[in-house]
Chain A
């Protein structure tokens, strides 16, 4: 019987052919925790009798969720992580080095065919690399650091095929928002998703990360983009599904006429064509996060804002996904363009997406954000409203002070 990508990757790790529904204990190729999940994880590691992590080269800690520390309580949690990293001889990614998922990919902690476990719900991002990656909580992560293994149920898989080429003003973010709207926030719970078809084949690694990232907004255990068209700096063996693999559900969408998409408060699956929301006044525009803080996201925003000023009643925050993205954005001029347009540049990291600091909205304010979540209170204030869109939509909306289709700024 044929296998899905997830079934193949798990089978490769445990040395026997397994299928959806089987419970397995599998070795993992890497683990990471952040400053939201890490401290509890380290506490659990000690409590469960952990002495040394299973392999220091496969473990990482990242300070990204509240970086630099906004208060003494969090400063002390960061110190706890630094101390642990030093004692265990594992790498700690310091404040400003970047968002966990971005630095894991940039530093090759995860590669095609790997099983990677992260104590962050957006860990499925690595599905962009044709890897099987799941998010877990702190105690699960501690157990993986100690044993090098995780127990899991081999997931059933939903196949999403998107045919057609995206219009030039339509990005990976618009595509994944559209899909989250169709599949819904619980439509893939416990399941894996495979993304395949022409629309994905043309995407860069960055765009593929945006796609896989929002698998978690459909409840999925993991979301893997088919490797066709994937280009990396190193050689890899792509894992593809068999023609007779068994899927629990299959979807086919022709996305050649897709418009830019917007997700309205207060659930990521409340998605419609941008035309429904055009004209809604905004106070605050944000580009960053593990979903959309990469170079091509900054570049498209810079293209729209070049030699222009954002609307006087709008403030704009930019958080590059990593220091490497920041340096590239400095080199190619995008960062300067955005700052000259009136944007405020903050430390690479999760920034205001997690509602801890660096840009909490005020009561009644409306935010247009390139992030992946718009739950009530997500950015730190339950009395604000968050709309999600592509970086292009965020930039065009910042310019006009209202939600607007970026098409006229991108299609000449």
Chain B
């Protein structure tokens, strides 16, 4: 994997069914200047999120994270804001694909009980998360091989630039 594979950072924890309108409201999505997205990320859920987040921090959520629209601006906004990885009990499917495609790692951990401000250690290669605050370890659901290959290239753009086509 070309990107950083081990991350040690703070968890920002939110609940279930966080939809893409909450991740980045539709009114901010129509831009190619991706830096503008970071100022509005999660603003209707937690107006102070963009101030709290430090580069490398980890976003943790419950079930069905990223439901709603197909807007790729949602994972892009999180990535721009400095989120290094998103952990959720499960993800909505378009968000999940989008995140991998833009090179934002996402880990599905069905039974996590990670609490606000926990210190986490993530090994992306192994798909493991250690909650240092609770001294508890989790194993993420394994991605399909093609997603691992896409993420290994840092996203779908690089994957196709290199391979020219898909292969299983």
Contacts and interface: CB of A to CB of B under 8 A. Distances in A.
Contact of A74 (B19, B25, B30): B30
Interface in A49-92: 49, 65-66, 73-74, 77
Contact of A120 (B63, B70, B155): B70
Contacts of B67: 185-186, 219
A219 B72 contact: no
Interface stretch (B51-59, B95-103, B111-119, B130-138): B95-103
Contacts of B71: 36-37, 137
Given A77-B32, A151-B146, A189-B90, A377 B22 contact: yes
A137 B63 CA distance: 20
B94 interface: yes
Contacts of B30: 35-36, 39, 65-66, 73-74, 77, 356
Interface string A116-151: 000111010000000000011111101100110101
B94 A135 contact: yes
A219 B64 contact: yes
Interface in B28-58: 29-32, 44
Contacts of A65: 26, 30
Contacts of A151: 146, 166, 168
B84 interface: no
Interface residues of B, number: 44
A380 interface: yes
A380 B25 contact: yes
Interface residues of A, number: 52
A267 interface: yes
Contacts of A147: 160, 165-166
B70 A375 contact: no
Interface string B104-147: 00000000000000000000000000000000000000001110
A119 B73 CA distance: 12
Interface stretch (A40-48, A199-207, A388-396): A40-48
A382 B44 contact: yes
A373 to B, nearest CB: 7
B82 interface: no
B17 A186 contact: yes
B22 A380 contact: no
B70 A139 contact: no
B160 A146 contact: yes
A354 interface: yes
7 contacts: A39-B30, A139-B157, A146-B160, A147-B160, A356-B26, A375-B21, A382-B25
